[in-house]
Amino acid sequence: LAIIDNKILLVKQYRYPNATDTLEIPAGKLELGEDTKLCALRELEEETGYSAKSITQIAKFLPTPGYSDEWLYVYEANDVFKVENPLNCDEDEEIEVVAIDIDKAYQKIVNGEIFDSKTMIAIMHAYINKRKI
């Protein structure tokens, strides 16, 4: 969850399994043995060109406990800044970075335009805590 000037950085990308475009927080797969915090910072930089001075875990959850042992970790980026020469995103990723006002992002959840669970959790966190941001 990266916020700049009360706007959440999201990535728009086509998801083939669901045949639809999604708006999501930057995210990706952990490399073998990679720390979740380092992964979050790497994915933020690869997908948006931004980084953060620090990050704070806001959620850890099982998205599909009925058939998978996968854990998802959601972090909030603190003191976000533009990277001069950012890491490249994966070759198979076509990503558009979109900055959306916190209230508008919340409305996109309510009206069904944002339906990715990790992103919904991050946006709800931002919406509930926006006075502190």
Residues with catalytic function: 91
Q: Fill in the DSSP letter of residue 49.
A: S
Q: Are 109 and 22 in contact (CB under 8 A)?
A: no
d(CA 31, CA 33): 6
Q: What are phi and psi of 132, to 5 degrees?
A: -85, -15
Q: What are the DSSP E strand ranges found in 1-133? A: 3-4, 7-15, 20-24, 50-61, 72-82, 96-101
Q: Are 9 and 27 in contact (CB under 8 A)?
A: no
